[in-house]
A and B are shown apart, each in its own frame.
Chain A
Amino acid sequence: MQKSAKYLLVAGNIFLFAATVLFFAVYYPYHVHYQEQYQLFEFTAAYFSSIVSVPGGLADYLGRFLTQFFLYSGIGSVIYALALVLVQTLTFACSRNKSLVNCALSFLPAVALWIFHLDENALLSADVAVILSLLSALAVSKVRRDDVRHICFIVGIPVLYFLFGSLSFVFVCIVACREKPWWGISGVLLSLAIPFAAQYFFDYTLRSLYTGLHYYRFYRVVPVWAWVPVITILITAVVDCTVNHYGKSTTRTVISVLILAVIAASVPLALKHQADFDKEELMEYDFLVRFQKWDKIIEEANIKAPDKPLSVSCLNLALAEKWQLADRMFNYFQNGPEGLLPSFVRDFTSPLPTAEAYFRLGMVNTAQRYTFEAQESIPDYQKSARCYRRLAETNIINGDFDVARKYLKPLKNTIFYRQWAKTAEEYLNSGEIFDRSRDLSEISSMRLQNHDFLFSDTEMDSMIGTLMLENGRNMMAIQYLMAYCLLKKDVARFCECYSMIDDGRVPSKSYQEALLLAWVGSHSDFEGLPQYLGGQNTLRINQFIRDYKQGVPADRMEKTYGDTYWFYYYYRYQ
């Protein structure tokens, strides 16, 4: 190995490892968590056989195995970093000439994979497939006897396709470049024929069988960035075989610097075009809701107020959990009733935090439906540990213990959910589940017992109102009902509902503002205004009305009145 190549290899890998860990752990951690919540890795024979029985199954299995650790973003970041370092090291190890140029080129596949993982739907099985294919190529290239090596090559093509999927083309590229043209062409032709034959055995489209089934969550989408490493490995292999690596030292250095410059330039470009920090924010809110980090949600919102329906709904849920919804909801951006309980969308992301809101309201069947639908929408047909846990809980609350046990069983076969599932099952079997779990017993007491109707998102106030009627201590329902009326700008309905909870105490800030707005709409002066609505409030609404009538621009109004219900009423959710 050239000395300069050795230095680059060590320094480059240290940098690659550190940069990857830093990026995923600090700037992109919720993308890491996101991977874990859409899978349920079980240590069972049935789970193993169901995954490895399709092309690319072993890579998929190993990818899922590693992804279960992404529950902790730090570990996930290290796994990503190790995978990229391995790809680089093996790519370089596969080149015959351990030159500086080859060393620089060998960073390309790793960087391409890093860019691939900026997409939240990129799966770790692609890395596993590339690593194991490189390893296989390295092993075959070590075989000295030509006939044995040729047999390994030809036999290896279908075997590796079945084990690692179509990215095993990496193996074909590397070995074909090293062999005589006839063998190389035969290998390439064979590798093209195999997916065609596979369509007769597996129920997937020909395109999916060629481009890979499990490298990307949407397997009908061609995972272009998963194939860039293959192209760069092919380039590396061709350069390795065709270029003189031992020419002038300056030329080698210039080429290597150019390659590294291309890599360096690709990073900001990738961050600009491939990374999605808006999604990172949504994932963060979803993650915090999942683990009920209500204070942290409010903390985050204080730094940067959320503005998407989903993140706003997470914030509102956190405020309600901390009994601050009525006082503080208009301190933040609100985008209508959708920011409270977003409408159902047939995807695997948005129903989950909404399901949490329904669960905590006591609408257990709706929470169950949203959770189930989210899980069924996972594009690569995986199950979700998060969803199974929630489905077990909803079935426990509904008294469907057999069904609950069914959901607990797969969780008992995991590393991180096993203990919870075992404990839940023990309590279920001993009949102590509601005594032991405060959460389940609380929600069980909040759910509807006597009324039944078909869920209708156009009659949300009636549904939440029924929850409140059945259980006057359901504080979540009270907060949500009031907030729903306010966000819908239905002040009359708000006043009607408020009269049901009015206990003579000073109402919360947004309620005061809404009551005052209702007063102003139906009275010519403040004569007879309840005392708790008077004082500063009347002065402020008078100022607001004056400024509004004078046509003060919205941005100035927002500065002065942005935290009031009046501002929301006249300027938001038009």
Chain B
Amino acid sequence: MKKILSFAVILAFCVSCAQKPVQQGDFPENAGPIYPDYMDVTIPDNIAPLNFCYTEPGLKDASTTFSCEGLSVTIEGVEVKWKIGKWRKFLKHASGKDIEVSGTPLAEPWKIHVSGDKIAYGINYRLIEPGYEVYSKMGIYERSLSDFDEHPLIENTGFSGCVNCHAYNKGNPDAMSLHIRGDHGATLLMSDGSLEAYNTKTDSTLGFCVYPYWHPSGDYIAYSTNNTRQGFHVKKEKLVEVFDLASDMQIYDVRNNCIITSPELKLENEWETFPCFSPDGGTLYFCRATAHPIPSEVEQIRYNLYKVDFDPITGTIGKDVSLVIDAESEGKSISFPKPSYDGKYIMYTLSDYGNFSIWHHEADLWILDLATGERRRIDEVNSADTESYHNWTADSRWFVFSSRRDDGLFTRLYFAHIDEEGNVGKPFMLPQESPRTFYKDFFMSYNVPEFVNGPVKFDKVRARKIINSPERVPFGFRWSD
């Protein structure tokens, strides 16, 4: 309905606005000759049209020709917008090849590399205004990656609270964990066609389950439980600091509705967070930092990457916790470790301190090669500003990450390709139908992007009902043997 109305109104209101000359301030100050920057990016052959706009102030006319092995398409205008059918046909032809882009006003032609590796069906994310403690309208949204369709899975207009940490099991749209905060706090679990609201706080654990990660079997979900607070800087270079006053790790046994934890994951003066399982399910990775007084020593809190064995047959957590990356010794801190599903890598975010890297301009993406133990900053995708949350596609050929490279505040999504040899392509921004205005007019940040392999069938009417109801299924608790 919204789309139909938009279309009708756009026709009525904005005919005169079409193809207005480019003006100073239309694009971020650091924008290149085109926005978004799609020059020399690597894209999948099932992605939505890479519409873009020339950024030269005063430019009125442009002509852009896309060529690939005998096929060529020319689009007129400063805003280069494809018809979706034409784009798909062109991209199918260009799969595994390079598209050469030429024309006016740019003197030099440039390329788009089209990979034969397809990207997932879509992506789910939270949209929220990047702010402080209070939230307005927000929700979890699903975006198809092969076109521009976006629709809400759940919005907080139906209840009082906020939705945040959501996770799927390797992109499986039928298994979802979603945390609701606020007056109607709960964790919603969608599994085997059912949707239930749980009270994840038990007498034996620190608090509600927060950051989730599904076990590949679907029988467990690792959660951290965090007592999180925010602080607010007074200096202009920084705005917000998010930190934990305590945090632990725990694993939820889906079949037996029971939290499992071990003393090794609940150390008194250590904070554990950001759990994730290895692709074979036998190892649990997590971040851990030594506690410091808050807020006086907030800049001393540095998280390392650890691992511990996990036996999915018995639900037993190993006794030996071992250090994987000692970031603290380098004066750095790790957040969001995410193993690739092919078992080759762990991607993580590295910042100067703390674990909430989205507010750290220095935060970058790094990758650990599990076979060689080599670590490197992924310079192909990092920028001068924040890079933070990231996720892999099920085939581990693509990853999505959030970045504030545009303006330092609003988080946008970028996608990058990684080939068999570990070569990473130049990332491209989530395509939008109207690139000239979309990001400029969009006051939301993209949070927690999660790939999905198909449309999520989320029963929003039932979700509203169970969230607004006081009934919650309680979690059981047991110590690991």
Q: Is the CB of B233 within 8 A of A365?
A: yes
Q: Is A46 an interface residue (CB 8 A)?
A: yes
Chain A binder among B47-55, B116-124, B154-162, B322-330: B154-162
In the complex, what residues of A have CB within 8 A of residue B239's CB? 365, 368-369
Q: Is the CB of A401 within 8 A of B29?
A: yes
In the complex, what residues of A have CB within 8 A of residue B241's CB? 454
Q: Is the CB of B295 within 8 A of A454?
A: yes
- Smallest Cβ-Cβ distance to A413: which chain B residue: B441
In the complex, what residues of A have CB within 8 A of residue B13's CB? 44-45, 48
- Smallest Cβ-Cβ distance to B463: which chain A residue: A203
In the complex, what residues of B have CB within 8 A of residue A425's CB? 25
Tell me the complex Cα distance, A463–B234, Å.
9
- Our pick among B14, B136, B410, B468 for the contact of A376 (Cβ within 8 Å) is B136
Q: Is A360 an interface residue (CB 8 A)?
A: no
- Smallest Cβ-Cβ distance to A447: which chain B residue: B236
Q: Do A403 and B460 form a contact, CB below 8 Å, given A46-B441, A49-B2, A398-B236?
A: no
Most buried by A among B29, B133, B136, B236: B236
Q: Is the CB of B136 within 8 A of A375?
A: yes
In the complex, what residues of A have CB within 8 A of residue B440's CB? 406, 409
Q: Is the CB of B298 within 8 A of A454?
A: yes
Q: Is A377 an interface residue (CB 8 A)?
A: yes
CB interface residues, B 429-448, toward A, < 8 Å: 440-441, 443
In the complex, what residues of B have CB within 8 A of residue A451's CB? 234-235
Q: Is the CB of B232 within 8 A of A365?
A: yes
Q: Is the CB of B232 within 8 A of A49?
A: no
Q: Is the CB of B406 within 8 A of A402?
A: yes
In the complex, what residues of B have CB within 8 A of residue A44's CB? 13
Q: Do A409 and B441 form a contact, CB below 8 Å, given A203-B460, A453-B234?
A: yes
In the complex, what residues of A have CB within 8 A of residue B160's CB? 220
In the complex, what residues of A have CB within 8 A of residue B131's CB? 369, 372-373, 376
Q: Is B5 an interface residue (CB 8 A)?
A: yes
Q: Is B10 an interface residue (CB 8 A)?
A: yes
Q: Is B137 an interface residue (CB 8 A)?
A: yes
- Residue count of chain A within 8 Å CB distance of chain B: 54
- Our pick among A50, A220, A369, A405 for the contact of B2 (Cβ within 8 Å) is A50
In the complex, what residues of B have CB within 8 A of residue A463's CB? 234
Q: Do A199 and B461 form a contact, CB below 8 Å, given A45-B14, A429-B24?
A: yes
CB interface residues, B 142-181, toward A, < 8 Å: 152, 154-155, 157-160
CB interface residues, B 384-412, toward A, < 8 Å: 406-410
Shortest Cβ gap from B41 to chain A (Å): 22
Q: Is the CB of B5 within 8 A of A52?
A: yes
- Smallest Cβ-Cβ distance to A394: which chain B residue: B236
In the complex, what residues of B have CB within 8 A of residue A453's CB? 233-234
Q: Do A403 and B136 form a contact, CB below 8 Å, given A448-B235, A451-B234, A463-B234?
A: no
Q: Is the CB of A455 within 8 A of B9?
A: no
Q: Is the CB of B234 within 8 A of A452?
A: yes
Q: Do A378 and B136 form a contact, CB below 8 Å, given A205-B158, A366-B234?
A: yes
Q: Is the CB of A204 within 8 A of B158?
A: yes
Q: Is the CB of B152 within 8 A of A452?
A: no
The range of chain B's interface size is 35 or more
Tell me the complex Cα distance, A369–B155, Å.
24
Q: Is the CB of B408 within 8 A of A203?
A: no
Q: Is the CB of B1 within 8 A of A455?
A: no
In the complex, what residues of A have CB within 8 A of residue B5's CB? 48-49, 52-53
Q: Is the CB of B25 within 8 A of A373?
A: no
Q: Is A364 an interface residue (CB 8 A)?
A: yes
Q: Is A526 an interface residue (CB 8 A)?
A: no
Q: Is the CB of B232 within 8 A of A376?
A: no
Most buried by B among A373, A376, A378, A381: A376
In the complex, what residues of A have CB within 8 A of residue B409's CB? 400, 403
In the complex, what residues of B have CB within 8 A of residue A406's CB? 407, 410, 440, 443
1/0 per residue B219-245: CB within 8 Å of A?
A: 000000000000111111011010000
In the complex, what residues of B have CB within 8 A of residue A373's CB? 131-134
In the complex, what residues of A have CB within 8 A of residue B1's CB? 53, 201
Q: Is the CB of A48 within 8 A of B133?
A: no
CB interface residues, A 372-390, toward B, < 8 Å: 372-373, 375-378, 381
- Smallest Cβ-Cβ distance to B1: which chain A residue: A53
- Smallest Cβ-Cβ distance to B231: which chain A residue: A454
Q: Is A200 an interface residue (CB 8 A)?
A: yes
Q: Is B135 an interface residue (CB 8 A)?
A: yes
Q: Is B139 an interface residue (CB 8 A)?
A: yes
Q: Is B423 an interface residue (CB 8 A)?
A: no
Q: Is A472 an interface residue (CB 8 A)?
A: no
Q: Is the CB of A204 within 8 A of B6?
A: no
Q: Is the CB of A48 within 8 A of B9?
A: yes
Shortest Cβ gap from B37 to chain A (Å): 15
Q: Is the CB of A381 within 8 A of B29?
A: no
Tell me the complex Cα distance, A406–B235, Å.
21
Q: Is B103 an interface residue (CB 8 A)?
A: no
Tell me the complex Cα distance, A448–B237, Å.
11
Shortest Cβ gap from B21 to chain A (Å): 15
Q: Is A346 an interface residue (CB 8 A)?
A: yes
Tell me the complex Cα distance, A166–B309, Å.
58
Q: Is A268 an interface residue (CB 8 A)?
A: no
Tell me the complex Cα distance, A366–B240, Å.
11
Shortest Cβ gap from B151 to chain A (Å): 10
Q: Is the CB of B154 within 8 A of A428?
A: no
12 further A-B contacts with Cβ under 8 Å, apart from A373-B134, A378-B136, are: A49-B5, A199-B464, A203-B155, A204-B158, A205-B464, A205-B468, A365-B233, A369-B131, A400-B407, A403-B409, A406-B407, A463-B234
* 16 A–B contacts from the bound complex (CB under 8 Å): A52-B5, A205-B159, A220-B160, A365-B233, A365-B236, A366-B232, A372-B129, A377-B136, A400-B408, A403-B408, A447-B236, A448-B235, A451-B234, A451-B235, A452-B234, A454-B234
> What residues make up the interface of B, taking CB atoms closer than 8 Å to A?
1-2, 5-6, 9-10, 12-14, 24-25, 28-29, 129, 131-137, 139, 152, 154-155, 157-160, 231-236, 238-239, 241, 295, 298, 406-410, 440-441, 443, 460-461, 464, 468
> What residues make up the interface of A, taking CB atoms closer than 8 Å to B?
44-46, 48-50, 52-53, 199-201, 203-205, 219-220, 346, 363-366, 368-369, 372-373, 375-378, 381, 397-403, 405-406, 409-410, 425, 428-429, 447-449, 451-456, 463
Sorted nearest first, the 3 A-B pairs with minimum C-beta distance are A454-B231, A402-B407, A452-B235
